[in-house]
Amino acid sequence: MNGAKSLVKTLLASGIDTCFANPGTSEMHFVAALDQVPGMKCVLGLQENVVTGMADGYFRIARKPACTLLHCGPGLANGMGNLHNARRARSGIVNIVGDQATYHRPFDAPLTADTAGMAQTVSQWVRTSVDSARLGRDAAEAVAAARSFPGQIATLILPADVSWNEGGVVGEPVPAPASLPVDGNAIENAARTLRAHGADTLILVGGTAVLSDAHPWLWRIAQATGATLMADFVTAHLSRGRGRLQLERTPYVMEAAIKALQRYRHIILVNAKPPVGFFAYPGLPSTQYPPDAQLQVLARADQDPLPALQALASLLNAPEVAIPDPGPRPAVATGAPTPEGLAQTVAAVMPEHAIISDESVSFGRGFYKFSHAAPPNDWLHLAGGAIGDGLPVATGAAIGAQKQRRVISLQADGSAMYSLQSLWTQAREKLPCTTIILNNSKYNILIGEYANVGATPGDTAMSMLDLGNPALNWVGLANAMGVEAARATTLEQCADLMQASFGKQAPFLIELMV
Amino acid sequence: MNGAKSLVKTLLASGIDTCFANPGTSEMHFVAALDQVPGMKCVLGLQENVVTGMADGYFRIARKPACTLLHCGPGLANGMGNLHNARRARSGIVNIVGDQATYHRPFDAPLTADTAGMAQTVSQWVRTSVDSARLGRDAAEAVAAARSFPGQIATLILPADVSWNEGGVVGEPVPAPASLPVDGNAIENAARTLRAHGADTLILVGGTAVLSDAHPWLWRIAQATGATLMADFVTAHLSRGRGRLQLERTPYVMEAAIKALQRYRHIILVNAKPPVGFFAYPGLPSTQYPPDAQLQVLARADQDPLPALQALASLLNAPEVAIPDPGPRPAVATGAPTPEGLAQTVAAVMPEHAIISDESVSFGRGFYKFSHAAPPNDWLHLAGGAIGDGLPVATGAAIGAQKQRRVISLQADGSAMYSLQSLWTQAREKLPCTTIILNNSKYNILIGEYANVGATPGDTAMSMLDLGNPALNWVGLANAMGVEAARATTLEQCADLMQASFGKQAPFLIELMV
């Protein structure tokens, strides 16, 4: 058995059954092993940022890692933007990066690069396997690292000769390290704060604390103490809709965030980080919380928040209490698209347990308020700020849900252009993905940011901020990649197209002119 | 004057007048400065690998660096594939990477990344500017680094506060370090070898030694000594066509390369590296030259080869001799596309001083033999092996030639999908680019490599190697990005479409079914 075969068998034995791939020559023995050992679903992406973004989306929905197959340092580099996002989303991914044979590396052939150096910038775990007999064990440890709570980026660099040499040994599955339990002191401190200052306390939640299992406990704690619940702006995945908490996120705009947080003297962090500005601005602080606020950590990002929330509710004697009804499901809005109207329309028509991949950027900041009364859904966000993850995440999420759930992308046009190749994979895999391109023909968020500098953009600036010359035709782009598409200029047209698309086991794209 | 303004003024004073850009929030003060200080041509790319690839193509033709404007570590990461290629091509580029404000970095906001660590993997020079008063000087030194012979990647990381703070000082232009002169001993050694063993000697050329200025000297030396001239396979830019040397490249396929080089006992390297395999293969050596061949370096990659070649020719008393005529210009080939026929057809119709961006991958390995009798042209190759540079390089080359020369892309379909957004920039800038997509609907090079593993690809492998399900419609993709396009199935159709395109100051795409 060569190394490559031992690797495939180890991955399968460790529960990895999906491989998002864009292979090259140095990975051919691994590709051949995937042919010879059945069980791995392989999904091609036509650029590596699509590949890594799909793995991120897959993890968020399947709650287990997939592997990627990437070609040498530059192939990894092409996928690093979405690995950055996945790291911020705390998704688990096992990257297999084929590379030059160990003995060939010193010859500095063209594709030779500092693969490990690149990997370090986006991975919590990096190893270059150097021995076919150890490759299986290395892979099992990579999977364990990727499964570390809640998820990590593990990158295994695979020199070609380690892949093709004989002597491979299938690695025993390695259990993921247990998540560090929350200390009793942290729970007692939180209880003390909430009892004494509940009304002045913000419970800021992120990570898995915004998923549905945690909602009843958060609500009990909030109701018993008068504390406010809010979600971290950069949370990657929330459970939303009827039966779930009607959480709002901390605002993106710095002044609005400072205003929203100014009344809290205490902030309890549950899988969330202290809220800070996405960027710094002249004359504004870096932090969004009041300077005199006391911060405490109930659960770190790498600690399971559920037992801590349960213990805290119990310590507070917080009684079970129903999560409030969000009111009637909204109707389809009509007329010209507005953010509110689109949110309402999506809420009106989405199927049960839809997955929303929201990379709406500037257009979508107000979506939440108008979509609480939707059916239960999973709402995914860009967590790392590197635009271009919306379409790949949607694609991977559809595969993570085994094509059984509708995925709706609310997708800004500028960001969509970063990884538009995703549409081809959606067509190839016949994925139930409905993409709504919010076509405003500009980098609108930046035109807003430019205004903060104190002026309106001149011709030179607009040559870098305007996407309208020439106009991108998203129906044409989708069709050319095998995806049916249509344009909508009103919300009722958009609703009709969405509903029609839901009946098909295939992707569909709506170009919504906003 | 804030830092950003001092930066723009320094760049202009240092001779940088073109900026390939995809900006973000942290770069808004720099964007505003570009508005306020006239003189910089700014060109938007819709994904950063397009941006960096354009800068590479620009350098190859303009022979001077442009700057790029990238957004934080992830924006740099998105452009690293083509920076890897540009580094291998020895192109000079000044990357300006906006980043978190110095004081904001510790707060680890979402887009915070190891920007310097990423930059190190693809740059010869990296600096994070930390003081607005020093930014001008830092930028001048970055330009000098980028201009180091023959060209280097210099990355200047620009924290947002260094951009917006007052106290900027325009940097004096810094001269690029002089290229190390070639040692007289190296010239004498080469002369001795050529006198004694000329017929057994290969002069392997790369870098600027394959540009037209060097050709007469190379030819004199070869004619006087009986030595063979050959170009490095991974050379980025050759002067080709009538009046230029009819160089062949070392073959890509390992066995063919070993065979081509086996008779040489001496190899003189002129800006070229010792020829090695693109990849290692089981049972084959890493090096392509015979084990007993003597290698000597006439000019390192960072040494100007021209004075060395002139000195060598003089020492050899090699008389001036005409570069041989390549014979009559070929006619347009007809019928179904073949590599030979396409090369012949391109040679038949290309205008004088065309620029060929050749990322034809497997289809184009035999193009040279059939295109020596073309008019004088510049032929550009992928030097770093990271696919997806052909279209961006073509786009940047057109700008580097101030839109005065036709650029013809010979472009494999799989590679084209990596950076197809380039077409939009071609339309926006009305560039004289004619793209021929070689649509074979598969990663054909990899199907060949798979055969080396000893089998034909099974279903799983083909799920990662076939691009035909669904078929990509390149006419549709081009049109949707504002580029006129048509499909051709014969070489005469391709020739007609090419010739029609040459009359327009606009891009055109031909989807050639091969």
pLDDT along chain A (514 residues), means of 10: 98 98 94 95 98 98 98 98 98 98 97 98 98 98 98 98 98 95 95 98 98 98 98 96 97 96 98 97 96 97 97 98 96 97 98 97 90 98 97 98 98 97 98 97 88 84 92 98 98 98 97 96
What is the CA angle A301-A304-A310, rounded to 5? 125
Whole-angstrom distance, CA of residue B131 vs CA of residue B380: 39
Residue contacts between A and B (CB atoms, under 8 Å):
319
Does the beta carbon of B226 lie under 8 angstroms from any beta carbon of chain A?
Answer: no
What letter does residue A241 receive in the DSSP assignment? S
Whole-angstrom distance, CA of residue B9 vs CA of residue A119: 36
Does the beta carbon of B430 lie under 8 angstroms from any beta carbon of chain A?
Answer: no
What is the CA angle B326-B327-B328, rounded to 5? 130
Does the beta carbon of A465 lie under 8 angstroms from any beta carbon of chain B?
Answer: yes
Cis peptide before B470 (omega within 30 of 0): yes
> Is B334 inside any structural domain?
no
Poorest-pLDDT segment among A455-459, A491-495, B215-219, B399-403: A455-459
Cβ–Cβ of B286/A110 closer than 8 Å?
no
Looking at the structure, tell me whether residues A485 and A362 fall in a common domain: yes
Please choose, from the candidates B383, B108, B61, B416, the residue with its C-alpha nearest in 3D space to the C-alpha of residue B233. B383
pTM over 0.95: yes
At residue B452, the 3 state secondary structure works out as: helix
Helices (H), A401-443: 413-416, 422-428
Residue B267, both tokens: 């190899």
Q: How many helices (H) and strands (E) does chain B have?
A: 20, 17
For residue B271, the model assigns a pLDDT of: 97
Beta-strand relationship, A407-412 and A484-488: unpaired
> Is B175 inside any structural domain?
no
B interface test, pick of A30, A46, A279 with most B CB neighbours within 10 Å: A279
B314-350: b (≥16 Cβ within 10 Å) or e: ebbebeeeebeebeeebebbeeebbbebbbbbbbbbb
The minimal CB distance from B121 to the residues A26, A113, A280 is found for A113
Does the beta carbon of A457 lie under 8 angstroms from any beta carbon of chain B?
Answer: yes
Looking at the structure, tell me whether residues A218 and A155 fall in a common domain: no
> Is B328 inside any structural domain?
no
Q: Respond yes or no on whether ipTM tops 0.95.
A: yes
What is the CA angle A134-A139-A140, rounded to 5? 100
Cis peptide before A150 (omega within 30 of 0): yes
Backbone torsion region of residue B434, taken as left when φ is above 0, otherwise alpha when ψ lies between -120 and 50, otherwise beta = beta
Q: Who has greater pLDDT, B449 or B118? A: B118
The minimal CB distance from A476 to the residues B279, B282, B480 is found for B480
Looking at the structure, tell me whether residues A495 and A355 fall in a common domain: yes
User: Which of the listed residues A164, A199, A228 is the one where a domain comes to its end?
Assistant: A164
> Is A328 inside any structural domain?
no
Q: Nearest C-alpha of chain A: how many angstroms from B34?
A: 7
Looking at the structure, tell me whether residues A201 and A311 fall in a common domain: yes
Helices (H), B3-114: 3-13, 28-36, 48-62, 72-78, 80-88
**A395 with A359: CB under 8 angstroms?**
no
For residue B199, the model assigns a pLDDT of: 98
Chain centroid offset of residue A174 CA: 26
At residue A158, the 3 state secondary structure works out as: strand
B interface test, pick of A28, A300, A444, A462 with most B CB neighbours within 10 Å: A28
Whole-angstrom distance, CA of residue A269 vs CA of residue A266: 10
B interface test, pick of A47, A52, A158, A382 with most B CB neighbours within 10 Å: A47
Cβ–Cβ of A473/B479 closer than 8 Å?
yes
Whole-angstrom distance, CA of residue A403 vs CA of residue A401: 5
Residue A497, both tokens: 């197209």
Does the beta carbon of A17 lie under 8 angstroms from any beta carbon of chain B?
Answer: no
Average pLDDT over residues B122-145: 98
Chain centroid offset of residue A473 CA: 27
Looking at the structure, tell me whether residues A82 and A218 fall in a common domain: no
Chain A, 68 to 97: residues with Cβ < 8 Å from chain B are: 69, 72-75, 77-78, 80-81, 84-85, 88
Cis peptide before A470 (omega within 30 of 0): yes
Looking at the structure, tell me whether residues A248 and A351 fall in a common domain: no
Hey, what's the torsion of the CAs at A64, A73, A167, B253, to 10 degrees?
Answer: 130
The minimal CB distance from A35 to the residues B78, B414, B458 is found for B458
User: Which of the listed residues B164, B197, B220 is the one where a domain comes to its end?
Assistant: B164
Cβ–Cβ of B47/A480 closer than 8 Å?
no
- Res. B443 pLDDT band, cuts 50 70 90: confident
Chain centroid offset of residue A388 CA: 11
- Report long-range pairs for B474-478 (Cβ below 8 Å, ≥24 apart): B474/A480, B474/B413, B474/B416, B474/B437, B474/B439, B474/B509, B474/B511, B475/A480, B475/B509, B475/B511, B476/A476, B476/A477, B476/A479, B476/A480, B477/A476, B477/A477, B477/A480, B477/A481, B477/B420, B477/B423, B478/B423, B478/B435, B478/B509, B478/B511
| Cα Rg of chain A (Å, integer) | 23
Q: Which residues make beta-bridge pairs with A297?
A: A269
Cis peptide before B330 (omega within 30 of 0): no
- Res. B442 pLDDT band, cuts 50 70 90: confident
Looking at the structure, tell me whether residues A31 and A125 fall in a common domain: yes
Percent of chain B with pLDDT over 90: 95
Cβ–Cβ of B34/A461 closer than 8 Å?
yes
Looking at the structure, tell me whether residues B15 and B124 fall in a common domain: yes
**For chain A, how many structural domains are there in total?**
3
At residue B367, the 3 state secondary structure works out as: coil
Please choose, from the candidates B292, B304, B286, the residue with its C-alpha nearest in 3D space to the C-alpha of residue B186. B304
pLDDT over 80 at B40, yes or no:
yes
pLDDT over 80 at B331, yes or no:
yes
Looking at the structure, tell me whether residues B142 and B193 fall in a common domain: no
Average pLDDT over residues B325-341: 97
Cβ–Cβ of B104/A277 closer than 8 Å?
yes
Q: What is the largest CA-CA distance in chain B?
A: 68
Q: Nearest C-alpha of chain B: how many angstroms from A385?
A: 5
Q: Nearest C-alpha of chain B: how many angstroms from A376?
A: 28
CB-facing half-sphere around the CA of B495: CA atoms within 13 A: 20
Using an 8 Å CB-CB cutoff, list chain B residues near A101: 279-280, 286
Please choose, from the candidates A176, A144, A123, A115, the residue with its C-alpha nearest in 3D space to the C-alpha of residue A10. A144
Cβ–Cβ of A84/B77 closer than 8 Å?
yes
**A92 with A64: CB under 8 angstroms?**
yes
> Is A465 inside any structural domain?
yes
The pLDDT tens digits of the residues spanning B457-513 come to 999 999 999 999 999 999 999 999 999 999 999 999 999 999 999 999 999 999 999
Whole-angstrom distance, CA of residue B170 vs CA of residue B1: 9
pLDDT over 80 at B455, yes or no:
no
Cβ–Cβ of B461/A113 closer than 8 Å?
no
> Is B177 inside any structural domain?
no
Q: Nearest C-alpha of chain A: how many angstroms from B160?
A: 8
Looking at the structure, tell me whether residues B150 and B204 fall in a common domain: no
CA distances from B57 to A16, B124, B149 (A): 41, 18, 17
Cβ–Cβ of B42/A463 closer than 8 Å?
yes
Domain of A484, CATH number, reads 3.40.50.970
> Is A140 inside any structural domain?
yes
Does the beta carbon of B294 lie under 8 angstroms from any beta carbon of chain A?
Answer: no
CA distances from B99 to A301, B43, B96, B129 (A): 25, 20, 10, 10
Looking at the structure, tell me whether residues A440 and A375 fall in a common domain: yes
pLDDT over 90 at B445, yes or no:
no
Cβ–Cβ of A479/B473 closer than 8 Å?
yes
> Is A322 inside any structural domain?
no
Residue B138, both tokens: 């830092």
Residue B85, both tokens: 């290629």
User: Which of the listed residues B129, B164, B199 is the one where a domain comes to its end?
Assistant: B164
Looking at the structure, tell me whether residues A154 and A18 fall in a common domain: yes
Does the beta carbon of B160 lie under 8 angstroms from any beta carbon of chain A?
Answer: yes
Domain of A206, CATH number, reads 3.40.50.1220
Which chain B residue shows the shortest CA-CA distance from A274? B107
Q: Which residues make beta-bridge pairs with A377?
A: A240, A354
| Residues in Cβ contact with B457 at an 8 Å cutoff, skipping those fewer than 6 apart | A31, A35, B447, B450, B465
Cβ–Cβ of A31/B457 closer than 8 Å?
yes
Average pLDDT over residues B262-274: 98
Q: Nearest C-alpha of chain B: how many angstroms from A297?
A: 16
For residue A488, what are the domain limits? 339-513
